[in-house]
Homo-oligomer: A and B are copies of this chain.
Amino acid sequence: MKPIQVGLLGIGTVGSGTFEVLKRNQEEIQRRAGRGIEVTMVADLDVARAKSIVGANVQVVDDARKVIANPDIDIVVELIGGYGIAKQLVLEAIDAGKHVVTANKALLAVHGTEIFAAAHKKGVMVAFEAAVAGGIPIIKALREGLTANRIQWLAGIINGTTNFILSEMRDKGLTFDDVLKQAQALGYAEADPTFDIEGVDAAHKATLMSAIAFGVPVQFDKAYVEGITKLESQDIKYAEQLGYRIKLLGISKRTAAGIELRVHPCLVPAKRLIANVEGAMNAVMVHADAVGTTLYYGKGAGSEPTASAVIADLVDITRLHTADPLNRVPHLAFQPDAMSNLPILPMAQVVTSYYLRLRVADQAGVLAKVTGILANADISIDAVLQREAGEGESHTDLIILTHDCVEAKMNQALAEMQKLTTVLAPITRIRKEELN
């Protein structure tokens, strides 16, 4: 089957990430989608730069309307941003019968009602997973994963720039202004950071999540928006003394009177998982009547994390276009005729690191013998902890953390150590995972 043909409007950070990931993972994506997905046309004002990214096999134009007018293009990806020309182009693409994928939260939070109505009338999809919390599939969770529930509230760290600033203010006791400058230098904040630091970007995202959670139209104009520009370091310190962290949250809550929709700095109990989301990471908590509280965490911005969401939308549309609708999503994610024959490894071939606890005689030379066995097996040591022998005790505990090694080698070293007469009990071995 001919690949699905995608046209990109704009090839900046997210556009180039989308192009790159689609190319790099094309084999796996095709196995999941049941059909190839290819960027075949790009519109960007900077044609030379665009060509340097996509190479000679992709048509590059400076006029987005040429992409929309191309009958071979199945899906238009709008990555221009803002309310202006982007709105016009999205509406024109819908009118031309194209599906649209967009990362444009501002556009949908303000003009969503008009755009979704146009798409519904024309029978095309406007997909926007990338508009909220970057690569975290939160739109899918709210729209499909939690459909059983009456959602009661949601609260999210949905702007990485402000969360980075707040984390740095707390960690290093710096002022807002100092951290903002640092964030700009690191590329975590834009030259004009107003939309981020004043809470507008978070409010766009909260507006979209609120509409999906509660079944109300998007109403950005009703959102309460307060940023972090007036936050002082001393409040972060006082909050900490009281057991809280300060986070910029986007909150929407169902009450008897109506829907609360608000973005503002917030004290959150330090023991909540979301209070420990640091740096530029995002997280969304959803509280619903059947499932209770769930939380979704990941990178909320950046080239490839956002591209991950754009491409998930492309796969969703492709699966609808091509697969038997009753097998729209394959049972095991990949199409049944596209399963891999990669073997599941025996445990002896697994590579990991280890925690070892040895009950040893409290005498000279024990540590040397044990570490000698590990060294002979090429297992390097990360840390050693030796409990002092208690009064009158003739034994003690020796704890060793190792670096990565293959399990077979560790098994052999363990057998050798166990044979030492100075090792007085069966050795405890627990595997260690850094998960980083």
Residues of chain A having any CB pair with chain B under 8 Å: 17, 21-22, 24-25, 28-29, 31-33, 99, 112, 116-117, 119-120, 123-126, 129, 134-137, 140-150, 155, 210-219, 222-224, 230-232, 234-235, 238-239, 241-242, 244, 246, 249, 251, 254-255, 257-262, 264-269, 272-274, 276-277, 285, 287-299, 304-305, 307-312, 315-316, 320, 324-334, 336, 338-347, 349-351, 355, 357, 383, 385, 397, 399, 401, 428, 430-436
Contact = CB atoms under 8 A, between A and B. Distances in A.
A266 B434 CA distance: 10
Contact of A339 (B217, B265, B385): B217
A339 B272 CA distance: 33
Contacts of A129: 145
Contacts of A249: 433
A360 to B, nearest CB: 14
A42 to B, nearest CB: 18
Given A137-B144, A258-B343, 8 more contacts: A116-B332, A117-B336, A120-B336, A126-B331, A143-B330, A242-B399, A272-B435, A296-B297
A141 to B, nearest CB: 5
Contacts of A328: 320, 328
A220 to B, nearest CB: 10
Contacts of A21: 148-149, 289-290
10 contacts: A22-B148, A28-B149, A134-B291, A135-B292, A210-B344, A234-B397, A259-B342, A290-B307, A291-B299, A320-B326
Contacts of A148: 21-22, 25, 29, 307-312, 315
A351 to B, nearest CB: 7
A212 B242 contact: no
A114 to B, nearest CB: 12
The prevalent SS among residues of A at the interface is mixed
Contacts of A136: 291, 294
A316 to B, nearest CB: 6
B150 A329 contact: no
Contacts of A142: 333
B336 A325 contact: no
Contact of A430 (B219, B246, B251, B432): B246
A241 to B, nearest CB: 6
A355 B239 contact: yes
Contacts of A305: 290-292
Question: What 3 A-B pairs are tightest by C-beta distance, nearest first?
Answer: A137-B145, A148-B311, A135-B291
A123 B212 contact: no
A298 B294 contact: yes
Q: Which of A142, A242, A251 has the most CB of B within 10 A?
A: A242
B297 A215 contact: no
Contact of A215 (B117, B262, B312, B333): B333
Given A147-B29, A155-B433, A305-B291, A212 B333 contact: yes
Contacts of A291: 134-136, 298-299, 304-305, 308-309
A338 B215 CA distance: 8
A399 to B, nearest CB: 5
A272 to B, nearest CB: 5
Contacts of A338: 215
A232 B397 CA distance: 13
Contact of A260 (B238, B254, B326, B350): B350
